[in-house]
Amino acid sequence: MSARTIVVTSGKGGVGKTTTTANLGATLAKRGRRVVLIDADIGLRNLDLVLGLEKRIVFDLVEVAEGRCQLRQALIKDKRFDSLSILPAAQTREKDAITPEQFAGIVEQAADVSDYVLIDSPAGIETGFRNAVAGANEAIVVTTPEVSAIRDADRVVGKIAAAGKPIRLIVNRLRPEMVRSGDMLSVDDVCDVLSVELLGIVPDDEEVIDTTNRGEPIVLNESNRLRAIYDKVARRLEGELVPFTSFDNQTFFGRLIGAMKAG
């Protein structure tokens, strides 16, 4: 087993797990790493759609688990990157169609042919989540600066920490202007409450909706700021010390601008 195996999870749905997995995976692949993305959300697969690979699916995760095909037959190569492939989830099966052992076995196989295996976990804390976590050695918890997302993130952090796996946090969809005006929790607040090491701060960007509509990861868009931001996240993941961009300085002028905008 050569690769790092990392589960991307959140507890709450809709905070950006799949988008994070897709863009982080694409960024790592751009940096020359061999990356396999596994969609662990059986019955609700979406990673293929977010990456625009939905028409190329032949086999899926459950079929690999059941031995109907080889892993390499089920992996879809993303032609926009040299070294990115995805293993889609099954869409018409139940969540318990696969055992934790089967899933861990597939992750291990994928790890043999890659540098990074990123597992896109389903929302919730049931079977699918447990499988996804059991298959990984590390975890990235994605949250947004909202009370419900943070509370759920705290639950999964507790569960992953109990399994003894290192956890790092991505604060997604931050709106700096709202933080400045005191209407949104800051990254410091979130880290404070969750006490998890920070891996990345990704600001909210409307263009993500547009690029997702087209099935393109946002990091392919050279003019979008998220490209540089995901690059920083990837570098931190690889152990580089990259300073965090400060989005939420509560300076007097920051408040002034925030107050004028709000008022």
Partner 1 sequence: MIEFLKRLFGQQGSSATAKERLRLVLMTDHLELAPEMIEAMKRDLVELISRYVEVDRERIEVNFERQDRTLAMLANIPILGVNRPNGNGAVTHEAPKPQPEPVATVAAPPSDSKPPVRKRKRRKKSQRARTQLPSTA
Site for partner 1 in 38-77 (CB under 8 A): none
The site string for partner 1 over 118-157 (x = CB under 8 A, - otherwise) reads: ----------------------------xx--xx--xx--
- Nearest CA to 100 out of 69, 135, 74 is that of 135
Using the contact rule CB under 8 A, the part of the chain among 78-86, 185-193, 223-231, 234-242 near partner 1 is 185-193
Contacting residue, 186, 219, 230, 232, with partner 1 by CB under 8 A:
186
Contacting residue, 54, 108, 138, 189, with partner 1 by CB under 8 A:
189
Site for partner 1 in 195-254 (CB under 8 A): 250, 252
Q: Which is nearer to partner 1, 213 or 251 (CB)?
A: 251
Q: How far is the CB of 167 from partner 1 (least distance, A)?
A: 15
Asked if residues 221 and 227 have their Cβ atoms less than 8 Å apart, the reply is: yes
Asked if residues 75 and 87 have their Cβ atoms less than 8 Å apart, the reply is: yes
Q: How far is the CB of 188 from partner 1 (least distance, A)?
A: 10
Asked if 260 is part of the footprint of partner 1 (rule: CB under 8 A), the reply reads yes
Binding site for partner 1 (CB under 8 A): 146-147, 150-151, 154-155, 158, 179, 181-186, 189, 192-193, 250, 252, 255-256, 258-260, 262-263
